[in-house]
Structure 1
């Protein structure tokens, strides 16, 4: 640190000495300019006045320059603000210098020609500007050209404010290993013009041709104001180039002036969904968890852990996490302790299938709100182990629901799935039974029971995206079950926003459903991921179709026809009307399947089908 301070002082002393030379040079040069660039034509009297005034002139200049921070600015990164300070310092110095000379020679009407003061100020600003900005100019124009062959060649999409900020940082830093070859912008008036010496080469339709002609390595999408649909359209073009793709995450960075290379993120498959993300004003609806004891079962999972993060940020009285898997639960425990040190956090390893354990937990902590995210969800695995699907999903949910009723939980929110609609697999069928449990107990309890149904979650544990990424890293092939298989997709934050808003809207008995837009073909996701990884589908990485797995549909439905659809205050969230059912018969069937499944029957699916008539068993 001492060596650093010493270096700074040496630099400042050097700048002061340089400014002294500039002031002396400016004073004499102003006279020479006044007398038509002839030193011999300058009267000796004027030279004497300038020379005798130099001590005061220098003192004034150094003080003014110090006050205007000309010795503490980082001139390597100087911009408009520093330029304004520099101009103001020169103007103030000129005025003070003028007053000082006139006062010292007040017995003389014109101690110096009147034009000298104006010439002095103009030359001072010019010399000071050159001295402060010359290093940056030399570095900008010559600093990277020495090793330009080894720099990553970059094309920037968007010649606006964000693009301007990015090129300034790349040009001004010797630590950024990039060379911008050009811009692309859909504004026709910008095409052919230059920004910081870099040409706007064309519009989005020219991207592929430009990438080939200029040997582009990376494309940066610098349009933070673009909608998700517009971003997808641009990315659909960019991904055909085989270039590495990066983009600015959002408009807030442009508003905050926080646009930099460090803020760029890799383009991922989420950006190619082509719809704006579902946004929920959580601050306005999360008051109901504030100062409440909240429990999250399955709190170590993808959805459960994000629920815990959001709840922890809204001041619960206590957050109780229950999960059977210790590794992921440990991770979220450590994260929450680090980020919310004041949070009253309880983390318990327990199975929702253990009645006595659930009773003890509910009795001790008395949760007021429960989010039930604990479940077996992997379709093929559950097809091979259907008894476990029933034990964990059906009986586990039933036991937690009973505990919530027994210990007067105010609100119970269960995570369901679109696979519960006309199920063709045991996982979906068991989740449909869970919805029926919710509906039944809502009619018999003071607790408000609701379910939240959504589709596939991008990036969650066991989802298709992590599998595709691993297959691509291994060199392929990427396996897709069927060329026509489609799914609805949402991000983890979107799913959690829906669950939390359902908790705010809940009156009891509802099945909340998210309008997730258009479904996506799985093979298109696979191709996009291969392209975003810099490879070509079916050339570098093969796509292999393996056939539908047991219990797998070509498409998923969000609602059964009988349920209908009812809108909420959020137009993207709907409510399925409860289906009429014989609750006494259903409860009796629950007791029967509980007794039967512990005997480990060869095929529990026929028992499940009796409870869920819409369940179609695929592999008898």
Structure 2
């Protein structure tokens, strides 16, 4: 074992008390040495006539000074100051210790000497003690850091950025037992090849070479003046280095004093991007429909389903049945509703199950005497359903039919299906599945005497899982790029609160078989939304006109089955309702025989795992369905 390793093991084996006692002993030993030096300098020899009392009195005087020094050291907590953290404030305390000891010596010396020692002696003593104490600790600190450096396993750090934060970090790491600063990297050519804080500054062009040459374990980006997107971009650029890459904010940000960063971290309000007034909070007649009833919400753990549960809970039903396929989502919404209940005595029932399980659905409705069903369970992500058409059709179409038939059989008074604008002249399986689900419900509505069936159709929901605003927020936080499928793509938007109030209101307006839509104003250009969100976060868009901007917007192209513009209506006939912002659409539907034929074709294709058979059934029975492949071919031939 090497000498450095032995020293390292010895130092690290000492407990805190031992280290403090050792530091105090070093301070106290220096007091008689400093006194001896002062006497020799002032008098030349200890046998001088001025020191007629003799060596015995000098020793006694020195011993009392040591006692005084020990008291002052304890009062100033010198023994508690870590050697590796010995900096300016600690030096000031050491000077105070020497000064107090010198003053004490001047006051008590008449007790030991017939002639008072000269002031010069005490001044030399005080200065010598101060210098000895400071120099001893600085030397001991360097020796200790050398022991740590050679005996321990300090990881070498290269600091990217030689500004104030980088220098502060380098100074902090000098005394760290685990990390060792090895140098700086900076884009500023005027700093390169200079020494900053005792460390060389290198060009980032040599970064890969430096990591290997200097045996670097970690690169730390210390450039908080850069915008967060540019920091994220730099971090990604360094990810291929054979070492760790970390970023550090400014020290003021770490202490919470960086107001600019705090402002940028505030969450964005989705309502500000609607471009229209939101739907008002209160809707007359809604609460009374759900009060005292047993209400079942399918897809209760989803974005829409969970908000439905919260708002239904405020209507004070007797029972709220949460029907959900995901165990985690069900657990989370049940726990949240339990906390929201307060004094409301609402029975909350959590049920794990699928809407495609007929026996489970029927049993739940019967056991809990369900009176109102709000059907939010669906596979909704267009590319995912496009890749898995059988699963999407089974859940969205057959599941809706099973749920609606069970509701009619159990005498449920109101059944509300949540649909989407993608069901209007769909170009994808998800939209076609939702249109087929509407047709299934409309068919039952024409034949049911006990259950009022209705459908609610709306556009994209701001803030829901998988929607564009959370996606853009995530991309902005990573420094971009923000991805938009097409420069001209537009969408209708509404908030989660608006969507849920529309669903709840539809139940009170329905006469049976109704399709309700919200007057959503003009559709919003996604490109403009991306611009607005970047600027709302405090950044600028990087493009040809502004090459120094923070975040770039990339055009990725329309995904399979995705429309350039969405629609809310199949026909053009609209009727008003009791609410000026909610309209009733008059649309055609399939006959009972046609619905039965469509269901048979779908069930056969799903049972046989026949994707093409399922797509053929959709193409036959969904009016206006134009798969994206056909649209592309038509566009090419034209």
**TM-score normalised by length of structure 1:** 0.57
Equivalent residues of 1:243, 1:534 under 8 A apart: no
The Cα of 1:266 is off from its aligned counterpart by 4.9
Cα deviation digits, residues 398-452 of structure 1 (max 9, x gap)? 1001100110100100000001100011100010011111110011112100000
- Say which of 475, 482, 485 aligns to 1:481: 485
The Cα of 1:265 is off from its aligned counterpart by 6.8
The Cα of 1:497 is off from its aligned counterpart by 0.7
The Cα of 1:284 is off from its aligned counterpart by 3.7
SS of 1:370's partner is strand
User: 1:365–1:556: structure 2 CA closer, same or farther, 3 Å change rule?
Assistant: same
Q: Which runs of 5+ in 2 are unaligned?
A: 1-226, 228-258, 543-548, 631-638
Name the residue aligned to 1:22. Answer: none
Q: Distance in 1 between matches of 2:267 and 2:409?
A: 49
The Cα of 1:578 is off from its aligned counterpart by 3.4
Name the residue aligned to 2:299. Answer: 298
Name the residue aligned to 2:529. Answer: 525
Q: Distance in 2 between matches of 1:581 and 1:548?
A: 31
SS of 2:418's partner is strand
- Say which of 622, 628, 637 aligns to 1:612: 622
The Cα of 1:244 is off from its aligned counterpart by 7.9
Alignment of 1:55-66 (within 5 A): none
Equivalent residues of 1:269, 1:528 under 8 A apart: no
Q: Distance in 2 between matches of 1:373 and 1:272?
A: 25
Equivalent residues of 2:374, 2:415 under 8 A apart: yes
SS of 2:588's partner is coil
Q: Distance in 2 between matches of 1:566 and 1:337?
A: 40
Name the residue aligned to 2:455. Answer: 451
Q: Distance in 2 between matches of 1:388 and 1:400?
A: 17
| The structure with more radius of gyration | 2
Cα deviation digits, residues 209-240 of structure 1 (max 9, x gap)? xxxxxxxx9xxxxxxxxxxxxxxxxxxxxxxx
The Cα of 1:357 is off from its aligned counterpart by 1.1
> Does 2:353 match 1:372?
no
Equivalent residues of 2:297, 2:375 under 8 A apart: yes
Name the residue aligned to 1:336. Answer: 337
Q: Distance in 1 between matches of 2:504 and 2:584?
A: 15
Cα deviation digits, residues 565-614 of structure 1 (max 9, x gap)? 11111111100113143221222221221122121113221211111031
> Does 2:364 match 1:347?
no
Cα deviation digits, residues 282-301 of structure 1 (max 9, x gap)? 46421011110000000111
Name the residue aligned to 1:598. Answer: 607
Name the residue aligned to 1:542. Answer: 552
Alignment of 1:81-120 (within 5 A): none
Q: Distance in 2 between matches of 1:243 and 1:532?
A: 13
Q: Distance in 1 between matches of 2:379 and 2:322?
A: 17
Name the residue aligned to 1:560. Answer: 570
SS of 1:443's partner is helix
Equivalent residues of 2:485, 2:556 under 8 A apart: yes
Q: Distance in 1 between matches of 2:273 and 2:456?
A: 25
Equivalent residues of 2:383, 2:561 under 8 A apart: yes
Name the residue aligned to 1:360. Answer: 363
Cα deviation digits, residues 298-357 of structure 1 (max 9, x gap)? 011111111100111111010001010122221111111011053200011100011111
Alignment of 1:25-40 (within 5 A): none
The Cα of 1:245 is off from its aligned counterpart by 10
The Cα of 1:528 is off from its aligned counterpart by 1.3
SS of 1:271's partner is helix
The Cα of 1:482 is off from its aligned counterpart by 0.2
Q: Distance in 1 between matches of 2:503 and 2:516?
A: 8
Equivalent residues of 2:326, 2:352 under 8 A apart: yes
- Say which of 381, 392, 402 aligns to 1:399: 402
SS of 2:321's partner is strand
Name the residue aligned to 2:427. Answer: 424
User: 1:556–1:347: structure 2 CA closer, same or farther, 3 Å change rule?
Assistant: same
SS of 1:294's partner is strand
Name the residue aligned to 1:497. Answer: 501
The number of residues matched between the two structures is 364
Equivalent residues of 1:244, 1:532 under 8 A apart: no
Q: Which moved more, 1:602-611 or 1:568-577?
A: 602-611
Name the residue aligned to 1:278. Answer: 279
Equivalent residues of 1:369, 1:412 under 8 A apart: yes
Q: Distance in 2 between matches of 1:475 and 1:266?
A: 16
Q: Which moved more, 1:581-590 or 1:509-518?
A: 581-590
Equivalent residues of 1:246, 1:267 under 8 A apart: no
Equivalent residues of 1:279, 1:497 under 8 A apart: no
Alignment of 1:226-237 (within 5 A): none
**RMSD between aligned residues:** 2.2
Cα deviation digits, residues 144-180 of structure 1 (max 9, x gap)? xxxxxxxxxxxxxxxxxxxxxxxxxxxxxxxxxxxxx
Q: Distance in 2 between matches of 1:347 and 1:432?
A: 29
Cα deviation digits, residues 118-162 of structure 1 (max 9, x gap)? xxxxxxxxxxxxxxxxxxxxxxxxxxxxxxxxxxxxxxxxxxxxx
Q: Distance in 1 between matches of 2:331 and 2:284?
A: 27
User: 1:383–1:305: structure 2 CA closer, same or farther, 3 Å change rule?
Assistant: same
Name the residue aligned to 1:287. Answer: 288
SS of 1:598's partner is helix
Cα deviation digits, residues 471-502 of structure 1 (max 9, x gap)? 11111111110000000000000001101110
Alignment of 1:77-226 (within 5 A): none
User: 1:376–1:580: structure 2 CA closer, same or farther, 3 Å change rule?
Assistant: closer
Q: Distance in 2 between matches of 1:544 and 1:511?
A: 37
SS of 2:567's partner is coil
User: 1:471–1:266: structure 2 CA closer, same or farther, 3 Å change rule?
Assistant: closer
> Does 2:314 match 1:313?
yes
**TM-score normalised by length of structure 2:** 0.55
Name the residue aligned to 1:587. Answer: 596
SS of 1:619's partner is helix
